[in-house]
């Protein structure tokens, strides 16, 4: 049976067997699967990664529909794809942070401080000094931003309403940091040389 967006939403919101049958039909929809699989595999993911992202995307889409969060501003296929894209980007960010941590631990374990490691350590110390000029909230927002967290993740961690509020707060905090650093010429000179 071929479902329209409206019939799919109605089936998900109903009780009984309809949601299961609808989900099975969607799960087997080649166009939806291929779009997500291409997205994941074209950016270095495996077939298993793509399958996981596809399934989790369906689950989240269904939860959003049941909770009335789907506003109908796009087709369900586009909505599902966007959810999957966000899931995959978050996964890539987590993987990158994990690799950076493992690399840092390996550098630490070798006991050898290469010139690059020393330079990075010096940069971190100077940036930490500059960030101490700000309050805890601004420091948290800017540190998370520089580590590549999404604005939605920053908003959640800092207790903001949404990613747009976090983005605005980041701009304000960055302006404060620049203004404070300009008041300390020696620190400004060091940071500009980094």
pLDDT tens by residue, 70-111: 888 888 889 999 999 999 988 888 777 667 656 655 555 454
DSSP designation for 132: T
Please report the DSSP string for 81-109 in residue order.
HHHHHHHHHHHHHHHHHHHHHHHHHHHHH
Closest CA relative to residue 134, chosen from 101, 95, 175, 167: 175
* Cα separation, 89 vs 106, whole angstroms: 26
Closest CA relative to residue 193, chosen from 100, 126, 95: 126
Biggest CA-to-CA distance, the chain: 71
pLDDT of the residue at 175: 82
Q: Rounded to a whole number, what is the distance in angstroms from the first to the last CA of the chain?
A: 61
* Cα separation, 41 vs 154, whole angstroms: 28
Mean pLDDT in residue range 110-129: 64
DSSP designation for 70: -
Give the other-Cβ count within 10 Å of 193's Cβ: 8
Digit-coded pLDDT (tens) for 8-18 = 788 777 765 55
Q: What is the pTM of this model?
A: 0.51
């Amino acid at each position: 049976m071929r479902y329209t967006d409206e019939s799919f939403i109605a089936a998900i919101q109903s009780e009984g067997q309809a949601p299961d049958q609808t989900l099975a039909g969607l799960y087997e929809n080649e166009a939806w699967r291929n779009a997500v699989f291409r997205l994941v595999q074209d950016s270095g993911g495996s077939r298993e990664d793509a399958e996981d992202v596809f399934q989790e995307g369906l689950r989240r889409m269904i939860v959003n529909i049941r909770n009335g969060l789907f506003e109908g501003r796009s087709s369900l296929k586009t909505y599902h794809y966007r959810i999957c894209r966000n899931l995959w980007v978050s996964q890539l960010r987590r993987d990158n942070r994990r690799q950076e941590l493992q690399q840092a631990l390996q550098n630490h374990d070798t006991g050898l401080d290469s010139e690059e490691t020393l330079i990075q350590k010096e940069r971190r110390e100077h940036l930490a000094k500059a960030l101490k000029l700000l309050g805890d909230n601004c420091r948290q927002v800017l540190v998370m931003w520089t580590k590549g967290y999404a604005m939605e993740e920053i908003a959640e961690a800092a207790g903001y309403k949404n990613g747009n509020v976090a983005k605005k707060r980041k701009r304000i905090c960055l302006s404060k940091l620049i203004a404070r650093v300009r008041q300390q010429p020696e620190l400004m000179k060091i940071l500009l040389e980094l």
